A and B are shown apart, each in its own frame.
Chain A
Amino acid sequence: MRLIKNTNVNFVGNFKLWATISATLVVLGWLLFLFKGLNYGVDFAGGTEIQLEVNGINTNQLRKSLKDFGKIEIQKFEGKDNEFLIRMKNISVANPKQVDNFISKVKATFSDVKILKTHFDSQVGDRVELWLSQSVDKSKLEKLAKENSLPVTGTIEYSRVGERHIYKIMLQGLTDKIMTTVRSKLSKNAKLMRVELVGPKVGKRLRVDAFEAIIYSLIAILIYIAFRFNYQFAPGAVIALIHDVSITVGVFSLFSIPFDLTIVAALLTIVGYSLNDTIVVYDRIRENFNNEKKGKTLADRINKSINETLSRTLLTSLTTLIVLVILLIFGGGIIRGFAFAMTFGVIVGTYSSVFIASPVTILIDNYMKSKKAKTA
């Protein structure tokens, strides 16, 4: 079977039209990125994401039962009726302010007791430690903690070393607190499927890392192409890559699709994939570069090269798209963002290899010639 044979489409001739469309999309992508921004997932924004399974309830019931937790985002997990996704900025129930309030209350209540040391780690949030100069009434401590809305578990550990009286007021973690709340208010059988909890510092670091990874791969590719092909090919390839990434990122911004680590992986793969297409075309251009039979002008030869490889370009994109659509349908919610980014990126990448990357080399060639003419 053969679908595409001896095509002779003028890809280069209509470059201005394609360039205008592409440039508009790229600019739109950047504008969306800069002004609307990305919907960063917990990987990059920090915070907590919990996926849980509760049978026979809807999102509103879940939202109502968790209203004490402050700002919280709840949605149905894609493709499942009984699974929900909870996202929030916090990573522990107790915050340092509540703990400070509690400590000052302890000071006021037990005025003759000296507080030697306190300890609370907001990232762990598992306990408040108080080192006191005298022993105090445990139940009073617990009451004070409750009054300051600390999520006490009811356990207060006490130990004494010399003249130090150490009280450890154990607190509930965020996940635990949410699960016990859901179990008591909605359904005993609520099941925890997945938790992702990322501290704010890590989120920032991962963002920087991801950005660097994308930049590094662009640089590495630029160097490789300049080295393996003629230097005038490299700009076209890189412009095509920036084109693909910008438009894909723009789409993520437009539809507010959560942007996480797997999406960065998808972007880098798109970069590699789109380049793969571009290079096959370039390889043919390299072969036909000085071949009079393939066309009188360089533009003709480039157009011929694109046409000669068109069948391969479309076929490979087709097989890749087949598996990606299958992944999109059967892969489930966790991988959906990745599959979507890849599907979209492969389409854009194929387009850019044919309509953008190669014609740009002609522009560069013309520019170099005119420059040469001027100096001569």
Chain B
Amino acid sequence: MDKSWNVRAIFVGLLIVVATIMLLPTVLNRTAHPWLEKINDGISLGLDLKGGIHFVLNVDVDKAVQDKVERRVDEITMRLDENKIKYSKVVADPVAPKIYVTLDPSADVSKFKKEVVDYFGDIKEIGNSGNVYTLALRKKSIDFIKTNSVEQAIETLRSRIDELGLKEPVVEKQGKTSILIQLPGYKDIDRARRIIGQTAQLQFKIEAEDKDPLSAYANNLPAGITLLPARGQTADGSLLTYKYAKSKDKKALLAFLKGKAPKGTEFLLEEIDYANGEKEYRSHLLYKKSYITGDMLTDARVSINQQRNRPYVSMAFDRNGARIFEQVTGKFVKRKMAIVLDNKVKSAPVIQTKIAGGHAVITLNSMKSFNDTLKEAKDLALVLRAGSLPAPVTFEENRTVGPSLGQDSIAKGKLSIEIGFLAVVIFMVIYYGTAGLIANIALLLNLLFVLAGMAMLGATLTFPGIAGIVLTVGMAVDANVIIFERIREELDMGKGVLKALELGYDKAFSAIFDANITTALTAFILWNFGSGPIRGFAITLLLGILSSMFTAVFVTRVIFHYMMKLDFFRKLSF
């Protein structure tokens, strides 16, 4: 019998030790003790406590589908022209979304089906009346456009938010079409909105390989910046050599390049990510003039060259884009054309030949493994699509809390917990005497377990979450009150202290369990429904209920047992 009590006591002791360890990263200074990171990341504070900006954006995926349908109309007409199929009209009903193609009575219908409808893999004929053929996007490709447009938006937003240089920004999908952005510590709402709300800018620019302004600084380089040689070629086949700069320090690199670009050109950077998470930046000298912008692009996708088993990216342009692309590639053949998204160079392929017809192919560096190349191709296609068909993004929510208000909230929350705790503790001692003291130990442990649980789960502490803790302090003694009242009843019926204690715990258990389960149920539903601050409340409430059941039923019982052993029960009062 005693053995089982010892086991219980050791279990409680162990839990206290574990909970204390779990709380170390929250309590101690993490930069001074880096080993703490191995335990957990500590309880993080919600934006309402530490200050910062919270945005929810909605990606208009239906608009993205409509845009795609409108683009397809342009491509279908091009395709009809190329195959010399006569038609009178191609129109879109972007809301449906459907495309109506009116063919000439003399047109070759089977050729139309084979060369136009089947050509675009993602559309199908859904009916016809006379010469009017109704085409629609396949469901699979509609789904693809929808999920893809959210992904593209997240991708673009991430790279833009990097620009703000914040410590722990959050950009993540919320629900199906929404994106949650959290910028802790950032205050300038308007600037954040402007940067986030921009439409992605995709441009194609020609590299100024015929200019070499950096070589002159070869012997006079700031620390951390290296110059490397590169080769280019002019249209007539003569070789060009020039130098570009590379560095891990973006700021230093930008400072070094400042003012060194010849007239009519500019330096832009390309970011190179290494497998070990390090980043490096290299300079590109580009002519300022951009010939082609993203909106002229209608599609970009990854394909695989079956013979050489190499992934590549194919692009398609609209009519106007196709015409300009032909002129540009003709004029700058053998030169590098940089693909620039939001002023960052993403890739700089060499123009191999003049490209007509509105279709171009980008082959990638063949030095890498198949999988690496495939990833690179996918990223590039994503960049091209993000710049060509950016899905419209609208701001749905913005919540900003200034840092002083957050500090104020923390102070008020702390004060409320302290006073609330003190009041309940005093009340319990006055009302239950020694037993009240034991309930207070349980209450203290309860706070410890709730906080440790939050640290373990990586939960975020919000202001409503603090309110949840205050509430827990008031509600946690409930289980002990139920037990103690029951014990008093049993004592009234003339039972001995030992017997009353046992009966009190036994009979009270079902009430405690049923009552707490239902509160836990509502807390869980709240956690499911809520976001941000409300979730913080639900999680503290839920942990508070679970841990108060444990401390009140299990821990106090163990304490009582040992008090009895020590012949303490004479002083035990209820």
Contacts and interface: CB of A to CB of B under 8 A. Distances in A.
Main secondary structure of the interface of A (DSSP, over half): helix
Interface stretch (B103-111, B119-127, B190-198, B209-217): B190-198
A311 B519 CA distance: 21
A104 to B, nearest CB: 23
Nearest to A332: B412
B474 A268 contact: no
A359 B525 CA distance: 29
A312 B193 contact: no
A327 B420 contact: yes
Interface stretch (B145-153, B238-246, B272-280, B534-542): B534-542
Nearest to B486: A312
Contacts of A327: 416, 420, 467, 470-471
A315 B518 contact: no
Interface string A213-238: 10011001100110011000000000
A191 interface: yes
Given A276-B518, A279-B518, A261 B394 contact: no
Most buried by A among B189, B203, B423, B427: B189
Given A279-B515, A316-B477, A326-B470, A173 B399 contact: no
Interface stretch (B223-231, B354-362, B402-410, B561-569): B402-410
Interface residues of B, number: 83
A320 interface: yes
Interface string A164-181: 100000101101100000
Contacts of B530: 213, 261, 265
Interface residues of A, number: 85
Nearest to A197: B398
Interface string A19-57: 000000000000000000000000000000001010000
Most buried by B among A193, A221, A326: A326
B511 A265 contact: no
A342 interface: yes
B474 A320 contact: yes
Most buried by A among B194, B320, B433: B194
B420 A326 contact: yes
A280 B511 contact: yes
A323 B526 contact: no
Given A324-B471, A342-B471, 19 more contacts: A1-B432, A124-B197, A164-B293, A175-B400, A194-B399, A195-B189, A195-B400, A197-B398, A199-B395, A201-B396, A202-B397, A213-B526, A262-B533, A262-B534, A275-B519, A315-B481, A319-B428, A334-B409, A335-B412
Identify the 7 closest CB pairs spanning chains A and B, nearest first: A323-B474, A272-B519, A272-B522, A283-B511, A213-B529, A323-B420, A320-B474
Interface of B: 56, 58, 187, 189-190, 193-194, 197, 199, 203, 290-293, 320, 324, 392, 394-402, 404-405, 408-409, 412-413, 415-416, 419-420, 423-424, 427-428, 430-433, 463-464, 467, 470-471, 473-475, 477-478, 481-482, 485, 488-489, 492, 507, 510-511, 514-523, 525-526, 528-530, 533-534, 537-538, 541
Interface of A: 1-3, 6, 51, 53, 91, 119, 121, 123-124, 126-127, 161-162, 164, 170, 172-173, 175-176, 191-199, 201-202, 209-210, 212-213, 216-217, 220-221, 224-225, 228-229, 261-262, 264-265, 268-269, 271-273, 275-277, 279-280, 282-284, 287, 308-309, 311-312, 315-316, 318-324, 326-327, 330-332, 334-335, 338-339, 342
